[in-house]
C-alpha cells in the first residue's frame, strides 16, 4: 500500500518503520508538502496535523487516516466520514502510551514533592540533608479523568500508598476495583478538590473541559497542593494558574504540556522554582514506540485484508451508506 507519513520527524523512526511496514510504499513528508503528495496515498499516518475537507479533496485514493498516538483533535472526523475515509487512533493502554504518561505524571509529582530544584541548588552549595520533602505516602491525590491514562495513574499511585479521589464524567463500578477511594462526577469537581495534596489532570480536551481549571477550581484546591497536567494545556486557564501562584495558593505545578508548544525558554513561568516542565514526552518511551508502531501496522494489514479496523473513531460513508 502507498503510505504517507507526516511530519518529517518520522524519519528518525526509520529503524522502527522499516521492519513494521516492510513491503509497503513509504513516503515521509512535512505537513506543508502533504497536499502535493497525498493524491496517491491510500493511508496517511500522522502526528498532530490538520486533516480537513480541503486536504481530503486532494486525496481520491485515501482510505485511512491513522493517528500515530491517541489525540485526534486536529482531524475532521465528519469530513473523513463523508469522503469514505476511516480514522483510527492507537489504544493508549497496553501499547505503552498510557503507561508512559502515567509515569511522567509520577515524575512531576516526585520532582515537586522532593523539591528537586532546591536539592540541585544544595548540591552546588555543598549542603547535606536539605531540603526536607513531602512524602507521597499517605497523601491524597485527585485524578481527574479516568480513561486509560487516568486509570494507569491511579494504579501507580496506589502502589505509592496514596489515597485516591477520582473524577470522571460518568461513574463505573470498575473504578473502585483499580483503587479509587472516593468518586465525584465532573460537574461535582469543586467538591472533589479539598483535602487533595496532588491534583492530576488526565482529561481529553473538548468544549466541556476547556479551561476546567479556572479561578473557582484553584480556589477550591488546598493552599499547599500541587497541580499536575498531563492532558492538554488548554485544560488550564493560564491566567487563573498564574494568579493562584502569585497569591501563594499553590505549592507547585508540573506540566508535560504547554499552551504554545514548543515552550519559549524565556517564558517567565519557567523561571519559577515551583514549576517543572517536560516537553510533551509522556508517551515517548521505548515501549510506547514499539506498541504504537505495532498497532498502526496491524490496522494497515487489516485494511488490506478487508477486516474490521481497531479503534476506528468514525463511520465512513461510501456511496451514501455509512458502515
183 and 197 belong to one structural domain: yes
Whether residues 123 and 241 fall in one domain: yes
pLDDT band, very low/low/confident/very high, at 72 (cuts 50, 70, 90): confident
Specify if 181 maps to a domain.
yes
Residue burial 188-224, b: 16+ Cβ < 10 Å; e: rest: ebeebbeebbbbbbbbbbeeebeebbeeebbebbbee
User: In this structure, are 209 and 234 located in the same domain?
Assistant: yes
Say how far apart CA 302 and CA 48 lie, in whole Å.
24
118-to-129, 270, 275 alpha-carbon distances in Å: 12, 15, 12
Q: What is the CATH number for 104?
A: 3.40.50.720
* CB 1, CB 21: distance < 8 Å: no
In the chain, the number of structural domains is: 2
pLDDT in tens, 236-271: 999 999 999 999 999 999 999 999 999 999 999 999
Q: Are residues 21 and 126 in the same domain?
A: no
Decide if 322 is inside a domain: no
pLDDT of amino acid 318: 66
Same domain, yes or no: 85 and 123? no
Q: Are residues 101 and 83 in the same domain?
A: no
Last residue of a domain, one of 260, 277, 294: 277
In a domain, 41, yes or no: yes
16 and 144 fall within a common domain? no
Is residue 156 in a domain? Answer: yes
Sign of CA dihedral 213, 216, 220, 221: positive
Q: What is the pLDDT of residues 267-314, one digit of tens each?
A: 999 999 999 999 999 988 999 999 999 999 999 999 999 999 999 999
Please indicate, yes or no, if residue 126 is contained in any of the structural domains: yes
Q: Over the chain, what is the mean pLDDT?
A: 94
133 belongs to a structural domain? yes
Residue located via cell numbers 541548588: 121
Query: What digits encode the pLDDT tens for the residues 131-150?
Result: 999 999 999 999 999 999 99
Band of residue 319 on the pLDDT scale cut at 50, 70, 90 = low
Residue 212 binned pLDDT confidence (cut-offs 50, 70, 90):
very high
* Residues 180 and 305 placed together within one structural domain of the fold: no
Both 270 and 142 in a single domain? yes
Residues 43 and 106 in one domain: no
Contact 267, 244 (CB under 8 A): no
| Same domain (yes/no): 80, 132 | no
| Residue ranges making up the domain that contains 289 | 2-92+285-317
Amino acid at each position: 500500500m502507498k503510505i504517507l507519513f507526516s511530519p518529517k520527524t518520522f524519519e528518525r523512526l526509520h529503524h522502527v518503520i522499516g521492519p513494521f511496514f516492510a513491503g509497503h510504499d513509504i513516503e515521509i513528508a512535512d505537513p506543508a508538502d502533504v497536499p502535493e503528495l497525498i493524491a496517491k496515498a491510500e493511508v496517511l499516518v500522522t502526528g498532530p496535523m490538520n486533516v480537513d475537507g480541503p486536504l481530503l479533496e486532494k486525496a481520491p485514493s485515501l482510505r485511512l487516516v491513522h493517528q500515530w498516538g491517541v489525540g485526534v483533535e486536529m482531524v475532521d472526523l465528519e469530513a473523513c466520514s463523508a469522503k469514505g475515509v476511516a480514522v483510527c487512533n492507537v489504544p493508549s493502554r497496553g501499547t505503552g502510551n498510557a503507561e508512559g504518561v502515567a509515569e511522567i505524571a509520577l515524575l512531576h509529582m516526585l520532582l515537586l514533592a522532593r523539591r528537586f530544584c532546591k536539592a540541585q541548588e544544595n548540591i552546588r552549595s555543598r549542603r547535606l540533608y536539605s531540603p526536607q520533602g513531602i512524602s507521597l505516602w499517605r497523601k491524597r491525590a485527585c485524578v481527574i479523568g479516568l480513561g486509560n491514562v487516568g486509570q494507569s495513574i491511579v494504579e501507580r499511585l496506589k502502589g505509592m500508598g496514596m489515597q485516591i479521589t477520582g473524577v470522571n464524567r460518568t461513574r463505573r463500578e470498575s473504578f473502585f476495583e483499580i483503587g479509587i477511594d472516593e468518586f465525584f462526577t465532573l460537574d461535582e469537581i469543586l467538591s472533589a478538590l479539598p483535602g487533595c495534596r496532588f491534583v492530576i489532570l488526565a482529561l481529553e480536551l473538548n468544549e466541556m473541559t476547556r479551561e476546567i481549571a479556572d479561578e473557582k477550581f484553584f480556589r477550591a484546591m488546598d493552599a499547599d497542593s500541587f497541580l499536575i497536567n498531563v492532558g492538554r494545556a488548554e485544560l488550564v486557564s493560564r491566567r487563573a494558574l498564574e494568579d493562584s501562584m502569585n497569591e501563594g495558593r499553590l505549592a507547585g505545578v508540573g506540566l508535560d504540556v504547554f499552551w504554545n508548544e514548543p515552550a519559549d525558554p524565556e517564558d517567565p513561568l519557567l523561571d519559577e522554582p515551583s514549576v517543572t516542565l517536560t516537553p510533551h514526552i509522556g508517551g515517548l518511551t521505548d515501549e510506547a514506540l514499539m506498541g504504537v508502531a505495532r498497532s498502526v501496522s496491524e490496522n494497515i494489514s487489516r485494511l488490506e485484508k478487508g477486516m474490521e479496523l481497531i479503534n476506528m473513531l468514525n463511520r465512513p460513508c461510501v456511496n451514501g451508506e455509512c458502515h
